[in-house]
Copies of this chain bind each other. A is one copy, B any other.
Amino acid sequence: MAPAPSLEHVLEKLDAGLPQALDRLLEFLRIPSISTDPAFAPDVRRAAEWLCRDLVELGFDASIRDTPGHPMVVAHSQPGSGRKLLFYGHYDVQPVDPLNLWDNPPFEPRLEDTPAGEVIRGRGSSDDKGQLMTFVEACRAWKAVNGELPPGLVLLFEGEEESGSPSLRPFLHDNAAELHADIAAICDTSRYSDGRPAITTQLRGLYGEEITLRAADRDLHSGSFGGLAANPLQILCNAFAGLKDANGRITLPGFYDGVAELPEALRRDWDSLGFDPAEFLGGVGLKDPIGEKGRGGLEMIWSQPTFEINGMSGGYTGEGFKTVLPGEANAKVSFRLVGQQDPDKIQKAFRAYMAGFIPADCEISYKSHGGSPASHMNISDPAFAAAKQALTEEWGRDAAYIGAGGSIPIAGDFQQILKMDTMLIGFAKDDDRIHSPNEKYDVESFAKGARSWARILAALA
């Protein structure tokens, strides 16, 4: 049996060791581990090696695990008698273009004083090196105080998250027994927009289609053929217009099967966040929410399904005007899915619906993308309540269960392949400029993030 952890000492250790922890992070950030650009492959590996070496020094049983792409780093602490926790983060980073918009070179990270407090500036500081190191630093302080690591941990660090995670699912399949735990934690999300700590407990799924509609075998002259020849852009418009009713509800038969009303407990948590749709939309130059009347703004983006036209093209789109009657039209469309909506069933319904618009002499073809159901975590698992309480204590503000309108595929992969739910707990802020020039991570996010994990680990112990 490990000695009972002394949480207070761990937190003090974290505070005292913050300068050294920041030094380590800066060293990690100096490695340009851009996963999408093959020219940086050696740097990606160097980042994996840096991380693995740090974990080994800390006492983890850590190793680099090769994949067809960039390697994984897997680390285990000693077994314990309690529940196992899998922690996930990624050590690769986004490209840095356009470089001229950076005030400081992206891989020469530094601490900066800003009116809003001290920040760590550099590519990967928030997404995700800074975030993943909050967990590693919590483990380090734990070890220093307790003489051993928190028991029953599996750490999984990926190097391909910013390039679509091609190796992740096969790796999870091949190593399912080794990686399985009772619950997972991912540190790659943000606090709620007002800065309060949050656990993301549901994510919308996605089903997308690239559509090609072929009518005539060439672009036609609209004078010679207009009035007789089918216009594929018009056909797509007719179909897409009919997909939503006047209230914004999607008209596909059976579409809302498996869409439950929001549970009262979550509605209360979400209401408490004081979300203002007009303010939210104001940030991007809009002000009037679309969609079903009578539903809250967060409900619309977190727990209602959508249909969106993501892209559309056809005919003449260059400078000036050509009276073309296009032979082909293309569209990319997607549905965000919630609850138990089944991507396969919706694909069938959508394609059957579209078929009703396609004249016999035209041809529609599809290329599917996505196809992942929504992820809803089982928040009755006591780990959620324990983590929520720990976050509330650390930040001095009520932590909230929140949703996310987008997908985080890895949370779905953990559910499907490793059969476990995930606590999505991150400390980033909406203004961290991830994926953009001048990415930063607040020193407060980093310091209190590490303290948060220490509290969560103690609560779960």
Q: Are B228 and A204 in contact (CB under 8 A)?
A: no
B290 with A230: CB separation less than 8 A: yes
When distances are taken between beta carbons in the complex, the residues of chain B under 8 Å from A238 are 237, 241
Contacts of A122 in B (CB 8 A): none
Q: Is A116 an interface residue (CB 8 A)?
A: no
Q: B332 and A228: CB pair below 8 A?
A: no
Which of under 10, 10 to 19, 20 to 34, or 35 or more describes the interface residues of A?
A: 35 or more
Give the oligomeric copy count: 2
Within 8 A of B (CB), among A210-268: 210, 215-218, 220-231, 233-234, 236-238, 240-242, 244
Q: Nearest chain-B residue to A329 (Cβ)?
A: B312
The CA of A359 and the CA of B370, in the complex, are separated in Å by 30
Per a CB cutoff under 8 Å, which of B286, B323, B362 touches A310?
B323
CB of A105 within 8 A of chain B?
no
A216–B360 touching, CB < 8 Å: no
> Given that A227-B336, A237-B236, A336-B222 are contacting pairs, would A323 and B206 also be in contact in the complex, using a CB cutoff of 8 Å?
yes
Are B359 and A290 interface neighbours, CB within 8 A? yes
Pairwise interchain contact B332-A321, C-beta atoms closer than 8 A: yes
Q: What separation, in Å, do the CA atoms of A320 and B304 have in the docked complex?
A: 26
User: Do A301 and B407 have beta carbons less than 8 Å apart?
Assistant: no
Contact in complex: A226, B405 (CB < 8 Å): yes
CB contact between A316 and one of B244, B277, B310 (< 8 Å): that residue: B310
Q: Given that A223-B404, A300-B228, A405-B226 are known contacts, is A317 also in contact with B312, CB under 8 Å in the complex?
A: yes
Q: Residue of B at shortest CB range from A357?
A: B241
Instruction: Decide if A281 is an interface residue (CB 8 Å cutoff).
Output: yes
Contact flags A405-439 to B (C-beta < 8 A → 1, else 0): 11100000000000000000000000000000000
Contact present for A222 and B308 (CB under 8 Å): yes
Closest chain B residue, CB of each to CB of A214: B285
The 3 closest A-B pairs by CB, nearest first: A223-B406, A217-B285, A241-B241
| A-B contacts, 15 listed (Cβ < 8 Å) | A220-B284, A221-B406, A222-B308, A224-B301, A226-B306, A227-B301, A227-B306, A229-B284, A231-B309, A234-B241, A281-B361, A285-B361, A288-B360, A290-B359, A312-B313
